[in-house]
């Protein structure tokens, strides 16, 4: 983690910092606009089924790609960047691979309770999705 933080600071100057802050605010406002018609946003937690540790290849739209942090970051980091609370909830297991799957629930800023209510409602409505463990 320390290496990533230091790498992100290397070469950054004040102008870049200010520009990044402005871009973050533009993104935050665009996401906030989505909440004019919905209480929460549901998204995939990841773009693919998580691979087994002995085969770090993912399959997206029929193509095999290397499974990496860079592949998953767009799905999980923008909420932290823009201040929108989010939670990931299990949705069951993939048929072919038997690996766990999940979805992400995103709420308005400062509305963590709404996110947790949505996750709780989903879990109560679908207990069968979490009753078995994958074969690893």
In a domain, 135, yes or no: no
Instruction: Residue 117: name the closest of 93, 87, 77, 80 by CA.
Output: 87
Tell me whether residue 136 is in a domain.
Answer: no
Average pLDDT on 24-50 reads 89
Is residue 98 a part of any domain in this protein? yes
Q: What is the pLDDT of residues 108-121, one digit of tens each?
A: 999 999 999 999 99
pLDDT tens by residue, 88-109: 998 888 887 777 888 999 999 9
In-domain check, residue 50: yes
Q: Which residues of 16-28 are buried (b: 16+ CB within 10 A; e: fewer)?
A: eeeeeeeeeeeeb
Position 1 confidence tier, pLDDT thresholds 50, 70, 90: low
Residue 134 predicted with pLDDT over 70:
no
For the cut 60, the answer to whether the pLDDT of residue 136 exceeds it is no
Number of H helices, E strands in the chain: 5, 5
Looking at the structure of the chain, the number of domains it has is: 1
Least Cα distance to 99 among 67, 53, 62 occurs for: 53
119 belongs to a structural domain: yes
Domain that holds residue 87: 2-130
Q: What is the mean pLDDT of residues 47-76?
A: 73
Q: How far apart are the first and last CA of the chain?
A: 28
Q: For residue 13, is it within any domain?
A: yes
Q: Please give the residue that has the higher pLDDT: either 25 or 136.
A: 25
């Amino acid at each position: 983690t320390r290496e990533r933080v230091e790498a992100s600071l290397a070469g950054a100057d004040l102008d870049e910092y200010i520009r990044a802050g402005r871009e973050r605010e533009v993104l935050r406002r665009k996401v906030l606009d989505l909440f004019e018609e919905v209480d929460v946003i549901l998204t995939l937690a990841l773009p693919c089924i998580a691979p087994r540790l002995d085969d770090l290849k993912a399959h997206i739209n029929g193509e095999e790609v290397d499974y990496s942090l860079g592949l998953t970051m767009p799905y999980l980091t923008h909420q932290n960047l823009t201040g929108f609370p989010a939670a990931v909830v299990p949705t069951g297991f993939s048929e072919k691979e038997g690996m766990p799957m999940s979805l992400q629930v995103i709420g308005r800023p400062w509305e963590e309770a709404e996110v947790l209510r949505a996750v709780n409602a989903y879990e109560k409505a679908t207990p069968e999705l979490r009753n078995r463990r994958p074969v690893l």
